[in-house]
Structure 1
Amino acid sequence: MNRDEILAAYERQVRTGQGERVGRVVRKAPDDGWNGIIWSDLDEATADAEIAAQVAYFTALNRDFEWKLYSHDRPADLGERLLAAGFKADPEEALLVAEAAAMAAEPRLPEGVVLRPVDDAAGIDLLVEAHEQAFDMSLPDLRDRLVRRLAERPESMAAVVAMAGDRPISGARLDLDPGTEFAGLFGGGTAPGWRGRGVYRALVAHRARVAVERGYRYLHVDASDQSRPILLRLGFEPLGTTTPYGYAPKA
């Protein structure tokens, strides 16, 4: 895998090709769902004014938003400028990529665990319940967004829940970016008591098979400290890091 070529394709297809180009940034501002800046082309002379313009735009909409900052973005002090403008940084994540075909395999699950495809609102409920157990937080907004997405754009994602009897113990989704070679891995957190037993790896293998079936060449993921070691052992390649910077107008 040529990392420079893959990163260039990722920039072109995923970051600049999946939102609205407005001057020096690409942003997403749907009526529901994730709002934020996914790409920028800034320098020392333009960064502060562009940050202020985007803060003003989302504040006028009264929406929280996120600025996805990648380690190769410029200027080099863009993160510091975002903090000075009132953003708050979440933990840094690793941008990892792999050939989907190399990750696709028959999922190997612990005894008594089965995979349930998510294709209705009841499945979304199970997916969100799994996330809430894994991350120990309430996620009502996530449920609402995914229910709407499933109803309006079912072709844009493929989600799955790992079930132990009638209990969801892990859930994950595959975001399918139309017109690109890249499918994104999201979720996969596993409930306490089931960690370290291969559930996360099985969900990666399952989603990789779906990606190949849908015609996608690459998997990409923003990996936390918990998932990064597993994905690297599976063969994912690091392309850099990304840090979410959040801004809440109400605050």
Structure 2
Amino acid sequence: MTSPAELLALYDSQQRLVVPEHPPAGVTFEVTDGVMRVTGRGEGFVETTQHLGLSGGELDALIAKHRDHFAARGEAVEWKTRAHDLPADIPQRLERTGFEAQEKEAVLVGHTSDLLVARPLPAGVVIRETNDHNDIVGLSTMLSEVWNDDLSWLIEQLEAQLAAAPELTVLFVAEAEGTIVSGARIEFTPGSDFAGLWGGSTAPAWQGKGIYGALAAARAQRAQQRGVRFLQVDASPESSPILQRRGFVEITSTTPYIWSPSAPLGTQS
């Protein structure tokens, strides 16, 4: 049995600073001194190695450099942090540089076999794999309603991701009466023991009916077919208990910090 500490070590070595061999068109991944910066997706993204080896003014300058890169483009940027990252004051320094904390999520890992079985779906609900434009538009519309935000930008991003490496991203949707009511994807990293479960959301009227579990099972079955040992999820407070009941364990937590062009640049100390 793999312990949580062993899973965390594997996660840090295999699931961070991952640069795809075939990035989506127009998207660039740059890794320098333990920092990965992703540009070209409309909103920037930054993540780091577990231990940056910087402190004080050097760390402030690093944060400001990447913030200013996206400020010059007029774009927001997400800086992904984990609770066990070092130095421990990265969150405070991000906030002083104008970033704002978002909802914390649990980083969960489970054996692929933990999710292979799900309870029966409601009558009339069908789950299928897709890369169809109309399905992706329907998924974006559903997600915009769930999160009360315009997520139409997801259409271009998902289609570019699926086109760049269709063998590494598999998108599933749940459909009822011709309408997309839920969706989620699984992402594979070549040579990794992990596959990532991402984007699982269900329309409010269809929540609590087993669709989330069925989508998880469909993705776990795909992972098992490829011989992937573990599944990793950044889980919301709503989905975390469901997955932990299925055997997943929390190995750390993650909090995204967002800077947007409308935010102040902040101060450094």
Calculate the TM-score normalised by the size of structure 2.
0.85
Q: Distance in 1 between matches of 2:249 and 2:146?
A: 25
Which segments of 5 or more consecutive residues in structure 2 lack a partner in the other structure? 20-28, 264-269
Q: Which residue of 2 aligns with 1:15?
A: 16
Q: Which residue of 1 aligns with 2:178?
A: 166
Question: Given that residues 117 and 123 in structure 1 are in contact (C-alpha distance below 8 angstroms), is that contact kept between their aligned partners in structure 2?
Answer: no
Q: Which residue of 2 aligns with 1:4?
A: 5
User: Which amino acid is the alignment partner of residue 239 of structure 1?
Assistant: I
Q: 1:61 and 1:217, CA in 2 relative to 1: closer, same or farther beyond 3 A?
A: farther
Q: Which residue of 2 aligns with 1:29?
A: 38
Question: Given that residues 8 and 252 in structure 2 are in contact (C-alpha distance below 8 angstroms), is that contact kept between their aligned partners in structure 1?
Answer: no
What is the 5 A alignment of 1:121-140? Answer: 121-140=133-152
Question: Given that residues 181 and 218 in structure 1 are in contact (C-alpha distance below 8 angstroms), is that contact kept between their aligned partners in structure 2?
Answer: yes
Give 1:144 deviation, angstroms: 1.2
1:58 to 2:70 alignment: yes
Q: Distance in 2 between matches of 1:103 and 1:34?
A: 32
- Percentage of pairs with the same residue: 39
Give 1:9 deviation, angstroms: 1.2
Give 1:106 deviation, angstroms: 5.7
User: Could you list the per-position Cα deviations for residues 187-215 of structure 1 after superposition, in whole angstroms to 9, with x for gaps in the alignment?
Assistant: 22211221111111111111111112233
Tell me the matched-pair count.
250
Question: Given that residues 142 and 180 in structure 2 are in contact (C-alpha distance below 8 angstroms), is that contact kept between their aligned partners in structure 1?
Answer: yes
User: Could you list the per-position Cα deviations for residues 95-142 of structure 1 after superposition, in whole angstroms to 9, with x for gaps in the alignment?
Assistant: 001111232236631122111211221221232233223323321111
Question: Given that residues 96 and 236 in structure 1 are in contact (C-alpha distance below 8 angstroms), is that contact kept between their aligned partners in structure 2?
Answer: yes
What is the CA RMSD across the aligned residues, in angstroms? 1.9
Q: Which residue of 1 aligns with 2:96?
A: 84
User: Could you list the per-position Cα deviations for residues 56-92 of structure 1 after superposition, in whole angstroms to 9, with x for gaps in the alignment?
Assistant: 3333344321111100012222111100100011011
Q: Distance in 2 between matches of 1:131 and 1:146?
A: 13
What is the 5 A alignment of 1:82-231? Answer: 82-105=94-117, 108-231=120-243
Q: Distance in 1 between matches of 2:261 and 2:43?
A: 15
Q: Distance in 2 between matches of 1:239 and 1:86?
A: 28
User: Could you list the per-position Cα deviations for residues 126-163 of structure 1 after superposition, in whole angstroms to 9, with x for gaps in the alignment?
Assistant: 32233223323321111111112222222221111111
Secondary structure of 2:209's counterpart equals: coil
User: Which amino acid is the alignment partner of residue 32 of structure 1?
Assistant: R
Give 1:42 deviation, angstroms: 3.8
Which segments of 5 or more consecutive residues in structure 1 lack a partner in the other structure? none
Q: Distance in 1 between matches of 2:146 and 2:122?
A: 17
Q: Distance in 1 between matches of 2:149 and 2:104?
A: 20
Q: Distance in 1 between matches of 2:44 and 2:53?
A: 20
